């Protein structure tokens, strides 16, 4: 591993070690305690009646027969919800404010839209009751593709908004028109990307209980943003946030999918109506319908010189948001953030459309708009190579932001922290033996084999700055940060609580390593409860597990809290050792006077005195007890400027991917032969965990490129609603992931870390698309859409087509 | 439709099975899945439900030593059988060598597929104690993992095979 720079004087024993995960033991022995493993006395089970139509008016609902079924405890419809809860707050400014409730009220807007909820003594009885609910619908024309929803005179998904174009805006940064005027050539690309999902193996779930004695709720449920969720839930339920105890158990994967505020609200209301606690676990069909990224279309125009230099980009993105407002506009904002990828492009314009339709509401799947933007830019770079006759790697080398240009400010205002993009690509090409691969490709082609080499490079922005909400007219939540509370127990071990959540990333292990370093402890002496509980865990609105913010915000919050504990310990040690606090260090479980190893005291002894020595003369040494809260606010997360430039993200890991594929000339099935990734996420807290994140993320990206697609018919019915039709990669489908790492440290995070986790899923689709196009070069086929399926490719090749795109666009 | 429909589900049947060495007898609805019986009736929540249509393998348990998908199995079909779930693998607080290998090789992230994956690996390694990488990949293709990209799962199974071979040799 190459270290481009070294960390300052930070003493580190545990950070940087591949420390085995402390999470594992419970998970390996079946003691994971996921939400479906929890229960309560008197528990009931919920099932939702969901719309079979993509677009319809609800004329009448009759629940009498369901209510009479033995074992049914409550039946709830949208009408009850509208009477007893507030509608969802609109995040964005639109002409009118639609009243969106936790159950469909007047209309159903997608297949799967919940119309009624039942609580019963068991799940089977609840599902039996659904069959007894009669709903009369008046169907309306379904709007399935964005182009139809945008057409003049199209029926409205939300009548109150008055248009299906929820948002449309254009951002111009730098002299775009001037650059196009002086360009030698203009290269154009159109990219269509499907709806897909990382599909956590554990589906969304929740459990709710209402206490009529004090009007308070307890909700155990999935979220990735506990602070914002708590705000939204309490507001909808018309109670204070202090009357909702929100518990988020360890999650069996999340990937941005586990955000269902309306579901949590409806379940809380159902528990109240039933007078008993109620649990709801989505089945896989529900999870597939409700965990989709947006389908999008991106048009890129690149003004270039004959030497392949990119002078400017004009980009237009159309996002099909589906029938939801929860997460609307996020894809567009994050696409705007990543328009230049890893290239030195001085001028950019971005025109974005957010369109509502009768597909299900989208969620935040791993990368959120960044995979499609990376794909669009990387496809454009391949097209530039095609146009200029330059090698694809060479075009990238000519346009890369150079190592001496960091920190590098992009046209839209992101400040890239660190990187050495040429070194990443050089290393990846070296590992794959690029020249050798080209030679083998020539040989293979002479034998009729379709071998392809794919190249992609990417910046993988992480840590959202909520200040970017100003781009879409919302400014209630700004900045970036996280909260941590640390209690040193009376035995000298510590317990760390943060507003972050665990969904498989090993955050407990990483935090234990970080805090152990700060306090001179062993990681085994650091406890990190994996279940978030608003009763014990601190939180702010930006809290949670999203945008790969852990390494920056969560770690900084924990360090801040640990340093407060350290200062308190040093006060006590100073008194006991008769030395100035600055002369004392914490290591190996002891407070030691620097350079005088025999003048020391056990940290456990100091902790015990903090809890026990309360006599006035003792208590004045330091405030008794040893518990602190620290809220970290990221100094880089400044607000938008007058030219609408804003740091949309704050962390910029990067990677180069090279893939070797072979396309079967008879079946057009693509097989990935080798996959190399060389990445740079700065300093790694735990390299073993980093490797695991990279592997999983790459495979998500490969699968998005070749396998996974939520297919909708013209009526808005999901045709790939099971794992028989929605194809996940199996162990037999993917190769070992090869590669290496470089580390250019971020100057903006306490430990020099950068994000990791979603990054490889951002770049991998581009690498695969590049590889397949390269394999198909003898047939002259260009790739303009994902996923690249054998049947579509076969059809295209049989017809002698030249562009793999979506027919309806 | 009326509320007094005869669903035919209230006719319960008695089942007896030995789960992790303990014999259990219960009256169950014929439509009750084995996985729900294990999780709800017996409280063995280490067996997970991922898809309920037999694709993901999260609900894998061993029935007479062979891996089955307990979401595609009615509890009454398991009458008179012997079943092993993940809860039985660690003995006296000692992880099974396969569990140990998954821990040492970071073969798990969110852990939701892990019990099924470990049991599938256990049955596989009994049949094929020294498999190739390809054989491992094919053998585990019935168990989906959404987190690891399978790289470290394959390495874990390789390490477990070596550990078990070493143990058998001593």
Which residues in A lie closer than 8 A to residue B72 (C-beta atoms)? Answer: none
Check residue B11 and give its pLDDT: 87
Tokens of A775: 């394999």
Distance CA A418, CA A507 (A): 24
Q: Does B26 touch chain A (CB under 8 A)?
A: no
The predicted-structure confidence for A367-408, as pLDDT tens digits, reads as follows 999 999 999 999 999 999 999 999 999 999 999 999 999 999
Task: Mark whether A306 and A450 lie in a shared domain.
Answer: yes
| B85, B143, B149 ranked by CB distance to A699: nearest | B149
Query: Residue A465: which residues within 8 A CB-CB, separation 6 or more?
Result: A478, A479, A480, A634, A636, A637, A638, A646, A647, A648, A649, A650
Query: Averaged over A798-808, what is the pLDDT?
Result: 85
Contact status, residue A358 vs residue A323, Cβ threshold 8 Å:
yes
Closest CA–CA distance from residue A28 to any residue of chain B (Å) = 6
Contact call for B48 and A201, based on CB within 8 A: yes
Is the CB of B11 inside 8 Å of chain A's CB atoms? no
The partner residue sitting opposite A199, judged by closest CB among B90, B104, B146, is B146
Is A786 part of a structural domain of the chain?
Answer: yes
Interface contact B52-A284, CB threshold 8 A: yes
User: Does residue A774 sit within a domain?
Assistant: yes
Residues A252 and A129 in one domain: yes
Which chain B residues are Cβ-neighbours of A198 within 8 angstroms?
146
In a domain, A164, yes or no: no
Q: Which residues of A touch B86 (CB under 8 A)?
A: 28-30
For testing contact with chain A, the best of B47, B95, B110 (most A CBs within 10 A): B110
Fold of B97-169: DNA polymerase; domain 1 (1.10.150)
Mean pLDDT of chain B: 94
Q: Are residues A123 and A235 in the same domain?
A: yes
Shared domain check, A321 and A207: no
CATH number of B13-88: 3.10.20.30
CATH number, position A658:
3.30.365.10
In this model, does residue A56 exceed pLDDT 60? yes
Give which of B41, B147, B159, B160 to mutate to test A binding, by max A Cβ within 10 Å: B147
**CATH number, domain containing residue A108:** 3.90.1170.50
Contact at CB, B46 and A284, closer than 8 angstroms = no
Which run of H or of E encompasses A773?
helix A759-775
Mean pLDDT of B77-94: 97
pLDDT of B152 over the 70 cut: yes
Residue A175 CB: number of other CB atoms within 10 A? Answer: 14
Residues of chain B contacting residue A124, judged by C-beta atoms under 8 Å apart:
9, 29, 31-32
Does residue B115 sit at the A interface (CB-CB below 8 Å)? yes
* Among the partner residues A28, A281, A504, nearest to B99 by beta-carbon distance: A28
Q: Is residue A158 part of a domain?
A: no
Inside any domain, residue A614:
yes
pLDDT of residue A94: 63
Residues 55-84 (B) with a CB less than 8 A from some CB of A: 55-56, 58
Q: Are A504 and B99 in contact (CB < 8 Å)?
A: no
pLDDT at residue B116, rounded to an integer: 98
Residue B154, number of CB atoms within 10 A of its CB: 22
pLDDT of residue A780: 95
Residue to test with chain B: of A19, A21, A27, most B Cβ within 10 A = A27
Nearest chain A alpha carbon to B7: A128
Of A128, A506, A695, the CB nearest to B149: A695
What burial letters (b/e) apply to A785-803, b meaning 16+ CB within 10 Å? bbbbbeebbeebbeeebee
Same domain, A506 and A549: yes
Instruction: Find the range with the poorest average confidence among A437-441, A544-548, B164-168.
Output: B164-168
Residues A101 and A204 in one domain: yes
Task: Say whether A202 and B50 touch across the interface (CB within 8 A).
Answer: yes
* Co-location of A653 and A768 in the same domain: yes
Sheet holding A56-62, edge to edge: A107-108, A56-62, A134-139
CA A15 to chain centre: 24
B45 and A68 within 8 Å at the Cβ level: the answer is no
Record: contact A252-B152, CB cut-off 8 A: no
Model pLDDT, residue A23: 97
With beta carbons under 8 A apart, name residues in chain B contacting A697.
149
Q: Is B56 close to A688, i.e. CB distance below 8 A?
A: no
CB contact under 8 A, B51 and A723: yes
Cross-chain residue pair B106–A692, CB shorter than 8 Å: yes
The verdict on residue A187 lying in a domain is: no
Q: Which domain holds residue A131?
A: 35-140+198-290
Of A28, A33, A696, the CB nearest to B109: A696
B103 and A20: CB-CB below 8 Å?
yes
A107-119: per-residue pLDDT in tens? 999 999 999 999 9
For B141, the closest of A26, A696, A731 (CB atoms) is A731
* ipTM reported for the complex, 2 dp: 0.96
For residues B100-109, give the mean pLDDT.
98
What residue spans of chain B are helical by DSSP H? 34-36, 97-104, 114-127, 133-139, 151-169
Q: What is the model's pLDDT at position B80?
A: 98
CB contact under 8 A, A692 and B141: no
pLDDT tens-place string over residues A218-247: 999 999 999 999 999 999 999 999 999 999
Q: Is the pLDDT of residue A807 over 70?
A: no
Q: For position A774, what pLDDT does the model report?
A: 98
The pLDDT of residue B7 is above 60: no
Asked if residue A28 lies in contact with residue B99, where contact means CB atoms within 8 angstroms, the answer is yes
pLDDT at A687: 98
Angle separating helix axes B151-169 and B97-104, nearest 10 degrees: 140
- Euclidean distance between CA atoms A339 and B10, whole angstroms: 61
Report the pLDDT value the prediction gives residue A98, as an integer from 0 to 100.
83
Q: What backbone phi and psi angles, to 5 degrees, belong to B55?
A: -105, -40
Residue B2, judged by CB atoms within 10 A of its CB (0-12, 13-18, 19+), counts as exposed
- Interchain CB contact of B91 with A (< 8 Å): no
Domain boundary among A604, A633, A662: A633
Asked if A280 and A293 touch (Cβ cutoff 8 Å), the reply is no
Question: Are A36 and B108 inside 8 Å of each other by CB?
Answer: no
A720 located within any domain: yes
Closest alpha carbon within chain A to B49: A202
What are the structure tokens assigned to A91, written together?
A: 């995040």
Give the chain B residue nearest A133 (alpha carbons): B1
Nearest Cα to A261, choosing from A241, A278, A236?
A: A236
Using the Cβ of B154 and the Cβ atoms of chain A, whether some distance falls under 8 Å is answered with yes
The whole-angstrom distance between B97's CA and the closest CA on chain A is 11
Query: Measured between alpha carbons, how far is B57 from B150 in angstroms, rounded to an integer?
Result: 14
What's the pLDDT band for A438 if we cut at 50, 70, 90? very high
Residue among A561, A516, A562, A526 at smallest CA distance from A13: A516
pLDDT-derived band at B8 (thresholds 50, 70, 90) equals: low
**A645, A789: one domain:** yes
A267 forms beta bridges with none
Please tell me whether residue A115 adopts helix, strand or coil conformation. Answer: strand
* DSSP assignment letter at A405: G
- Residues A360, A454 within the same domain: yes
Query: What integer pLDDT is reported at residue A89 of this predicted model?
Result: 77
Q: How many CB atoms lie within 10 A of CB A220?
A: 23
Contacts of A182 (CB under 8 A, 6+ apart): A303, A311
Q: Are A28 and B154 in contact (CB < 8 Å)?
A: no
Residue A169 has pLDDT above 50, yes or no: yes
Q: Where in chain B is the domain with CATH 1.10.150.120?
A: 97-169
* Complete DSSP assignment for A228-250: HHHHHHHHHHTS-GGGEEEEE--
- Considering only CA atoms, which of B6, B7, B24 is closest in space to residue B15? B24
CA distance A357 to A110: 8
- pLDDT digit string (tens) for A651-671? 999 999 999 999 999 999 999
Of B29, B44, B111, the CB nearest to A27: B111
CB A383 within 8 A of CB A774: no
- Gyration radius from chain B CA atoms: 18
Question: What is the average per-residue pLDDT within B53-81?
Answer: 98
**Interchain CB distance below 8 Å, A724 and B29:** no
Question: Are B149 and A696 in contact (CB < 8 Å)?
Answer: yes
β A584-587/A415-416 pair status: unpaired
DSSP secondary structure letters along A737-771? EEEEEEEPPPTTSTTSB---SSHHHHHHHHHHHHH
CB contact under 8 A, A737 and B89: no
CA B96 to chain A, closest CA, distance in angstroms equals 9
**Each residue of A15-29: pLDDT tens digit?**
999 999 999 999 999
Q: Is residue B161 less than 8 Å (CB to CB) from chain A?
A: no
Of residues B86, B108, B140, nearest to A30 (C-beta): B86
Residues of chain B with CATH 3.10.20.30: 13-88
- Asked if A590 and A652 sit in the same domain, the reply is no
Note whether A34 contacts B112, CB cutoff 8 Å.
Answer: yes
Q: What is the mean pLDDT of chain A?
A: 95
pLDDT at A716 over 70: yes
pLDDT in the model for residue A530: 86
Tell me how many domains chain A contains: 3
Which residue did the predictor score with more confidence, A701 or A4?
Answer: A701
Q: Is B156 on the interface with A (CB under 8 A)?
A: no
Do both A218 and A282 map to the same domain?
yes
pLDDT score, position A9: 38
Q: Which of A603, A633, A663 represents a domain boundary (last residue)?
A: A633
Q: Is residue A153 part of a domain?
A: no
Tokens of A396: 């990238």
Mean pLDDT of A274-303: 98
Give helix A261-274 / helix A226-237 axis angle, nearest 10°: 40
Residue B120 and residue B143 in contact, taking contact as beta carbons nearer than 8 Å: yes
Reported as a pLDDT band with limits 50, 70 and 90, residue A138 is very high
Contact flag B108-A28 (C-beta cutoff 8 Å): yes
Mutation target among A284, A550, A707, A731 for the B interface, most CBs of B within 10 A:
A731
Query: Average pLDDT, stretch A748-771?
Result: 96
Mean pLDDT across the stretch A731-759?
Answer: 96
Single out the residue in A290, A323, A345 at which a domain terminates: A290
**Residue A502 pLDDT exceeds 60:** yes
User: Which chain A residues are within 8 Å of B103, Cβ to Cβ?
Assistant: 20-21, 24-25, 28
- First CA to last CA distance, chain A: 45
Q: Which pLDDT does position A99 carry in this prediction?
A: 83
């Amino acid at each position: 591993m190459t270290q481009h720079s070294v960390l300052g004087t930070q003493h580190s024993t545990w950070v940087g070690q591949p420390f085995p995960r402390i999470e594992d033991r419970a998970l390996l022995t079946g003691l994971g305690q996921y939400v479906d493993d929890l229960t309560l006395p008197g528990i009931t089970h919920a099932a939702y009646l969901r719309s079979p139509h993509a677009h319809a008016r609800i004329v009448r609902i009759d629940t009498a027969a369901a209510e009479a079924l033995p074992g049914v405890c409550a039946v709830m419809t949208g009408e009850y919800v509208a009477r007893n809860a507030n509608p969802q707050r609109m995040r964005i400014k639109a002409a009118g404010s639609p009243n969106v409730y936790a159950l469909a009220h007047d209309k159903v807007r997608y297949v799967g839209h919940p119309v009624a909820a039942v609580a019963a003594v068991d799940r089977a009885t609840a599902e039996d009751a659904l069959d007894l609910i009669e709903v009369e619908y008046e169907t309306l024309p379904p709007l399935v593709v964005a182009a139809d929803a945008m057409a003049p005179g199209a029926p409205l998904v939300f009548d109150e908004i008055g248009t299906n174009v929820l948002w449309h805006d254009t951002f111009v940064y730098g002299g775009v028109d001037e650059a196009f005027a002086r360009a030698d050539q203009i290269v154009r690309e159109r990219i269509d990307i499907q709806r897909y999902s990382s599909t956590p193996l554990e589906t969304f779930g929740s459990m709710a209980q209402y206490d009529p004695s004090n009007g308070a709720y307890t909700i155990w449920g999935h979220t990735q943003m506990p602070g914002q969720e708590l705000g939204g839930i309490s507001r909808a339920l018309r109670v204070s946030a202090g009357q909702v105890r929100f518990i988020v158990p360890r999650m069996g994967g999340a990937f941005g999918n586990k955000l269902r505020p309306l579901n949590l609200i409806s379940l809380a209301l159902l528990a109240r109506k039933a007078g008993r606690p109620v649990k709801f676990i989505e089945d896989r069909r529900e999870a597939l319908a409700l965990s989709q990224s947006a389908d999008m279309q991106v048009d890129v125009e690149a003004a270039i010189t004959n030497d392949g230099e990119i002078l400017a980009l004009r980009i237009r993105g159309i996002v099909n948001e589906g029938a939801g407002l929860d997460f609307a506009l996020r894809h567009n904002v994050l696409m705007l953030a990543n328009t230049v990828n890893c290239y030195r492009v001085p001028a950019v314009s971005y025109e974005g459309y957010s369109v509502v339709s009768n597909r299900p509401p989208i969620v935040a799947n791993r990368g959120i708009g960044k995979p499609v933007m990376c794909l669009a830019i990387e496809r454009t770079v391949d097209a530039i190579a095609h146009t200029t006759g330059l090698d694809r790697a060479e075009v990238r080398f000519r346009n890369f932001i150079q190592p001496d240009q960091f920190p590098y400010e992009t046209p839209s205002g992101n400040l890239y922290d660190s990187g050495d993009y040429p070194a990443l690509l050089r290393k990846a090409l070296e590992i794959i033996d690029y020249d050798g691969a080209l030679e083998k490709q020539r040989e293979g082609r002479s034998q009729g084999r379709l071998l392809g080499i794919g190249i992609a490079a990417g910046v993988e922005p992480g840590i959202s700055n909520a200040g970017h909400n100003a781009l879409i007219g919302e400014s209630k939540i700004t900045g970036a940060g996280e909260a941590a509370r640390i209690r040193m127990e009376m035995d000298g071990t510590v317990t760390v609580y943060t507003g972050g959540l665990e969904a498989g990333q090993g955050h407990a292990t990483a935090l234990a390593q970080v805090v152990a370093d700060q306090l001179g402890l062993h990681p085994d002496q650091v406890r990190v409860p994996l279940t978030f509980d608003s009763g014990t865990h601190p939180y702010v609105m930006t809290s949670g597990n999203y945008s790969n913010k852990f390494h920056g915000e969560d770690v900084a919050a924990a360090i801040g809290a640990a340093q407060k504990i350290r200062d308190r310990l040093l006060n006590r040690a100073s008194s006991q050792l008769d030395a100035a606090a600055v002369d004392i260090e914490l290591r190996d479980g002891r407070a030691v006077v620097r350079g005088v190893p025999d003048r020391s005291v056990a940290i456990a002894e100091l902790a015990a005195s903090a809890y026990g020595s309360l006599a006035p003369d003792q208590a004045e040494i330091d405030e008794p007890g040893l518990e602190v809260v620290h809220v970290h606010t990221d100094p880089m997360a400044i607000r938008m400027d007058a030219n609408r430039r804003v740091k949309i993200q704050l962390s910029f890991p990067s990677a180069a991917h090279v893939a070797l594929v072979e396309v079967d000339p008879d079946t057009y099935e693509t097989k990935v032969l080798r996959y190399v990734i060389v990445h740079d996420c700065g300093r790694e807290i735990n390299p073993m965990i980093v490797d695991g994140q990279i592997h999983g993320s790459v495979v998500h990206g490969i699968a998005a490129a070749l396998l996974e697609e939520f297919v909708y018919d013209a009526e808005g019915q999901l045709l790939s609603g099971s794992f028989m039709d929605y194809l996940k990669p199996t162990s037999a489908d993917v190769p070992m992931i090869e590669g290496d790492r470089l580390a250019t440290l971020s100057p903006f995070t306490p430990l020099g870390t950068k994000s990791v986790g979603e990054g490889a899923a951002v770049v991998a689709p581009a690498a695969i698309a590049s590889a397949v196009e390269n394999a198909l070069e003898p047939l002259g086929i260009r790739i303009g859409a994902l996923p690249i399926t054998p049947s579509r490719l076969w059809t295209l090749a049989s017809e002698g087509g030249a562009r793999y795109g979506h027919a309806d666009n | 439709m009326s509320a007094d429909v005869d669903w035919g589900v209230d006719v319960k049947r008695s089942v007896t099975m030995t789960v992790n060495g303990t014999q259990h007898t219960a009256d169950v609805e014929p439509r009750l899945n084995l996985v729900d019986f294990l999780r709800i009736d017996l409280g063995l929540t280490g067996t997970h439900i991922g898809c309920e249509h037999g694709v993901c393998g999260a609900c894998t348990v061993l029935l007479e030593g062979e891996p089955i998908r307990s979401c595609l199995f009615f509890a009454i079909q398991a009458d008179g059988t012997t079943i092993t779930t993940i809860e039985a693998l660690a003995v006296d607080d000692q992880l099974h060598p396969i569990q140990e290998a998954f821990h040492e090789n970071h073969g798990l992230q969110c852990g939701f597929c892990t019990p099924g994956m470990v049991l599938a690996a256990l049955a596989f390694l009994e049949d094929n104690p020294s498999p190739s990488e390809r054989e491992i990949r094919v053998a585990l293709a019935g168990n989906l993992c959404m987190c690891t990209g399978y790289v470290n799962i394959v390495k874990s199974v390789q390490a477990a095979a070596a550990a078990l071979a070493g143990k058998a040799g001593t």
